[in-house]
Every structure is written in structure tokens, then in C-alpha cells.
């Protein structure tokens, strides 16, 4: 399948529930796919956007593959319908999640966005620019990651949001709730990481990649 970005830079009037999964995707892997598929089902989302970052301020440039290669890696996990790989952050000209989200909410005023992150990302969230303001701007869904879950649930971000946690059994309500609000979604965990893939040979050997099935409406 030839990749084509279907998300317009200047937005549109669509009405939808969309999960945002941002990252370096250096490379994209089964862990990203697991998070996206779980979110589609558990949160009742219409789509998940895999937003490939042009550059992560918290990660060193050394070892970072070219943007086009990372985007192609994310596109290999997408189906172009419910799971979308996008370079929208590059086209928006933003570098920080808080700024990206602000522009997306302005340009897609009828979309209910949810920020998706693994437990490892939730642990490091307090290092992000404007992280508290971010939590007041968008609902957040945290997905389990091996060895990171307890730290995430006891960390600074969870403490800050202690009074705003939504039980996972009510997760489908999350996209329609006003922030701050978050939930932790227990489920299948995939311990693969981009670092381990690069250590085993990088992008070239296909390690960690998978094809997303055409139908993403089951929890399997």
C-alpha cells in the first residue's frame, strides 16, 4: 500500500473521536500497534493517528533515523482508514506536544481528541514542556508497558491527576469528558522497544514490525 497522508494541514469540520499516538517511531513496532488497537476498542475511537515527530526534544539526535524513514515505518503499521500514519506535526511546524495539540484542536474543532501514551511515557511526562497545561487540555489514556506500570501509577503525573482518574470499565466515556481526566487501560503488554529493535539490526531486518489487519474492531 502506498502511503498517502489523509489529514489536511488546515483541518476540517469532521465529527469524530480520535486518539493521538505521538512519538519518534524509530522504528514503529508491535508495541505501538498494541496501544493503537487497544485504544480503538476500549475507548470507542473512530481513528488513531500515529503522529511521527520531526524531532523529540527529550531524545538525542544520535541514532535517530531520517524522518522519511521513520514515517514509512509508522505507515507500515497503518491501514489508512482507522489507523493513520501522519506527518501533520511537521506540517504544523510544532515541536512540543502542547503546541501541536493546540493547533489540532483549533483546526479540527468538532473532534474529541484523546492523548494516548504508554506507561513509560506517562512516567516521563513531567519532563515535557507545559505538561500540566497539556493535562488540562486533553483526556489521557495510559496503556500498560512491562516494568513501567507501577511507576506510572505512583508517579508525579498520576499524583497530579489523583482526583481525575476514570475507572477503566468506563473508558468509553473518556473522549467525551472535559479534561483533566485520565484512565489506565489494563490489557495485553508488548515488551518490545525501538531501542531493542535497533540493537538487533535496526529498521532493515523488519524486527518488531507487523501488518495491521483490515478489521480493527476486536480486542484480539
Predicted structure pTM score:
0.86
* pLDDT for the residue 199: 52
Q: What does the pLDDT read at residue 212? A: 35
pLDDT of residue 67: 94
Quick check: helix, strand or coil at residue 43? coil
Q: How many CB atoms sit inside 10 A of residue 108's CB? A: 20
pLDDT at 219: 32
Which pLDDT belongs to residue 148? 86
Task: Give the residues across from 115 on adjacent strands.
Answer: 20, 140
Find cell 516521563 and name the residue: 124
- The predicted structure's pLDDT at residue 191: 60
| Tens digits of residue pLDDT in 158-197 | 999 999 999 999 999 999 999 999 999 998 766 655 555 5
| Residue 188 neighbours by CB under 8 Å, 6+ apart | 34, 38
pLDDT at 196: 54
The list of the chain residues with pLDDT below 50 reads: 198, 204-220
Q: Is the dihedral of CA 95, 174, 47, 8 positive or negative?
A: negative
Sheet holding 140-143, edge to edge: 83-86, 47-52, 16-23, 111-118, 140-143, 182-184
Task: Write the class of the CATH domain 16-205.
Answer: alpha beta
Write down the pLDDT at residue 147: 84
Amino acid at each position: 500500500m502506498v502511503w498517502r497522508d489523509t489529514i489536511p494541514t488546515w483541518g476540517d469540520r469532521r465529527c469524530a473521536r480520535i486518539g493521538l499516538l505521538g512519538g519518534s517511531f524509530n522504528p514503529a513496532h508491535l508495541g505501538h500497534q498494541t496501544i493503537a488497537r487497544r485504544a480503538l476498542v476500549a475507548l470507542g475511537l473512530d481513528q488513531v493517528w500515529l503522529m511521527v515527530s520531526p524531532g523529540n526534544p527529550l531524545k538525542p539526535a544520535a541514532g535517530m533515523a531520517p524522518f522519511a524513514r521513520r514515517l514509512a515505518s509508522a505507515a507500515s503499521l497503518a491501514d489508512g482508514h482507522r489507523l493513520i500514519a501522519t506527518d501533520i506535526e511537521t506540517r504544523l511546524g510544532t515541536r512540543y506536544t502542547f503546541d501541536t495539540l493546540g493547533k489540532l484542536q483549533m483546526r479540527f474543532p468538532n473532534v474529541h481528541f484523546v492523548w494516548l501514551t504508554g506507561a513509560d511515557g506517562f512516567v516521563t511526562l513531567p519532563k515535557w514542556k507545559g505538561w500540566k497545561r497539556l493535562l488540562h487540555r486533553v483526556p489521557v489514556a495510559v496503556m500498560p508497558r512491562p516494568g513501567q506500570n507501577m511507576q506510572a501509577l505512583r508517579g508525579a503525573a498520576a499524583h497530579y491527576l489523583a482526583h481525575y482518574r476514570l475507572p477503566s470499565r468506563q473508558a468509553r466515556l473518556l473522549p467525551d469528558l472535559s479534561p483533566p481526566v485520565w484512565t489506565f487501560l489494563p490489557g495485553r503488554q508488548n515488551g518490545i522497544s525501538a531501542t531493542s529493535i535497533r540493537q538487533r539490526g535496526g529498521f532493515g531486518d523488519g524486527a518488531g514490525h507487523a501488518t495491521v489487519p483490515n478489521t480493527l474492531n476486536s480486542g484480539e
